[in-house]
Amino acid sequence: MLKWWDKYQELSQDGRPFVLATVVKSVGSTPRKPGTKMLIESSGRFWGTIGGGQLEVLVLAEAAKALAAGEGRLARFDLCPRTGQCCGGSTEVFLEVQNQNPRVYVFGAGHVGQALCRTLAETAFDVHVIDDRPEWIDSSRLPMEVTRHLMNWEAFLPETHWCDKKTYAIIMTPSHEEDRKLLKELLARPAAFVGLIGSRTKWARFQQQLMEEGVPAEALKKVSCPVGLDIGGETPQEIAISIAAQLLRRSNHEPNQ
């Protein structure tokens, strides 16, 4: 049987929002004591128990509200016949929403990719970098806060969870052909933002090729290319700053678009 702690580790890694419900206060006769925890997914599935019965039904309802609002809450439940419980005591449960920070997948750990990871590591973004080249992904220039994935994007994508409001993707692999193939795959997934490094000429060619392959023109409007704000920079760090600025502007001012 999967324990709540095992599920906590799993959900924390894949980025799916969930609620950690903790009994913080018990008065009188109650089914569980302070410190008892359970995990609740947005689907309503849960792991662990804080007492069962109608109490958990009420907690699940509060968890759904917390997930919808994107913020935690403290809820008090009187365990009386009105709530379907006959214990006679009361319980306070803190519902903490996890994985609410935006997550960015940086595909490519080259010079710009590493600079972007360093820049974003100091922000609210949960930063992941994906590259199958050990000499780049193992670089000491990548901050410890960045999660590294030594694999190609084809192996990585099936393992990830995508959220249309919280997931950002930046494409900057060493190959234009891989950029195009990866972009086609990403356009079939929900994402808040998809950015592609490159020139306007590259983007015009990609658009023509992708439409010939059946990608709708409407889907291509999701892509920002050249990615980054136009600040006139040329060095990897300057380009990274321009991309980070665009991501932060999108995340902070247009989080639900």
Please state the rounded mean pLDDT for residues 111-121: 97
Taking each helix axis from N to C terminus, what angle separates 200-212 and 176-186, rounded to the nearest 10 degrees?
Answer: 60
pLDDT at 257 over 50: no
User: Which tokens sit at 149?
Assistant: 């994935």
Whether the per-residue pLDDT at 174 is higher than 70: the answer is yes
- Using DSSP's 3-state secondary structure scheme, residue 93 falls into strand
Among 116-120, 160-164, 166-170, 178-182, where is mean pLDDT lowest?
160-164
In three-state form (DSSP H/G/I as H, E/B as E, the rest C), the secondary structure along 16-35 is CCEEEEEEEEEECCCCCCCC
Where does the pLDDT of residue 26 fall: very low under 50, low under 70, confident under 90, or very high at 90 and above?
confident
Residue 226, preceding peptide bond in cis (omega within 30° of 0): yes
Q: pTM for the full model? A: 0.75
Residue 1: pLDDT above 60? no
pLDDT, mean of residues 82-96 = 73
Three-class secondary structure of residue 190 per DSSP: coil
Over range 128-150, report the average pLDDT: 94
115: pLDDT strictly greater than 90: yes
What mean pLDDT, rounded, does the chain reach? Answer: 88
Query: pLDDT per residue over 178-236, tens digit each?
Result: 999 999 999 999 899 999 999 999 999 999 999 999 999 999 999 999 999 999 888 99
Q: What is the rounded distance in angstroms from the CA atom of residue 242 to the CA atom of residue 161?
A: 26
Distances (CA, A) of 205 to 80, 170, 201: 67, 18, 6
| pLDDT above 80: residue 8 | yes
* pLDDT attached to residue 31: 66
Q: Are 240 and 116 in contact (CB under 8 A)?
A: yes
Residue 81: pLDDT band with limits 50, 70, 90 = low
Among the ranges given (84-98, 125-139, 224-238), the one the predictor scored with the smallest mean pLDDT: 84-98
In this model, does residue 246 exceed pLDDT 80?
yes
Res 164: pLDDT: 76
Non-local CB neighbours of 63 within 8 Å, separated by 6+ positions: 19, 21, 40, 95
Please say if the pLDDT value at position 245 is more than 90: yes
- Which domains, ranges and CATH numbers included, belong to the chain? 4-98 (no CATH), 103-253 (3.40.50.720)
Pairing outcome for strands 193-196 and 126-131: unpaired
Question: Which pLDDT value is given to residue 56?
Answer: 86
In angstroms, the Cα distances linking 249 to 3, 104, 114, 229, 252 are 39, 14, 20, 10, 5
Sign of CA dihedral 165, 167, 168, 172: negative
- Give the mean model confidence (pLDDT) for residues 97-103: 84
Give the pLDDT mean for 5-15.
79
Torsion from C-alpha of 145, 197, 160, 71, nearest 10 degrees: 60
CA atoms within 13 A on the CB side of 117: 29
190/91 Cα distance (integer angstroms): 39
